[in-house]
Amino acid sequence: MTPIDAADYKRYLLDRSKPATVNKARIALKRYFDWLVKQGICRVYARSPPGNPSSRSNRGGGPPRWLDRKEQWALLRQVQKEKKPRDIAIVSMLLHAGLRVEELCHLRLEDVEISERKGKVIIRHGKGGKWREVPLNRDVQKALEEWVEVRSSSGPWLFVSTRAEQLTTRAVQFVVRKYGQQAGLEQCTPHALRHTFCHELAVKRVPLDVIATLAGHMTADGCPNIATTAIYTTPGDQDLRRAVDQLSWE
């Protein structure tokens, strides 16, 4: 049984069962594999299967923080209200391309390729030194084109400060937090926007290995790290509320 099998099984259960039932099934599966290991039948066993709360201990056992569609729109509307092309491009990249804040700050002009029909961004030094390409949707392409058009710096960095210097991670965090507060959102961070990117793809049933590749969740040997990405299939409060609302007669 591979991590992909485990993730697919979990998604199958989530579509048909209550969260408590899914948790019972996970515990039963863990005990079964513990027994296989003791019997010498199974030599390799991942002790933190997808959905195991221990894999999210740094998040208090809950799912990662992401924005629902209403919150996303509130944030984007607030950014667009300021009419600052750089900030619009930054938020669009984090929300629709899922970049880590460090990756965004290290982008050079040459790392973005946009044509009439498609666009992409090249991450040359992702986490663990991994290289990857992320396609850009039309919203991000438009935001980047408008930013590059007014960008005054002659330096190599895509995102620069008012002094034409490379933008720091702290500066990006400040920008996102500022607009989040103006939109009435709590804990709005670049990482929350990256989580939103992954969660939105998971909700739309994009395969986990595709999400992992786009987000740069990779193992040491360069394969998609499904176990890391699977946390985005864990339903949050909004997902649970939306599920039961479908049963309402009104």
* Catalytic annotation, residues: 100, 127, 191, 194, 217, 232
Residue 240 in tokens: 């649970």
DSSP state of 154: -
Beta-carbon neighbour count of residue 84 at 10 Å?
15
**Cα torsion angle, 175, 176, 177, 179, sign:** positive
The b/e string for 17-54 (b: 16+ C-beta within 10 A; e otherwise) is: eeeeebeebbeebbeebeeeeeeeeeeeeeeebbbbee
C-alpha dist (Å) from residue 163 to 120, 151, 152 = 27, 12, 10
Are residues 228 and 214 in contact, defined by beta-carbon separation less than 8 angstroms? no
DSSP for 190-218? HHHHHHHHHHHHHHTT--HHHHHHHHT-B
What residues contact residue 219 under an 8 Å CB cut-off, 6+ apart? 225
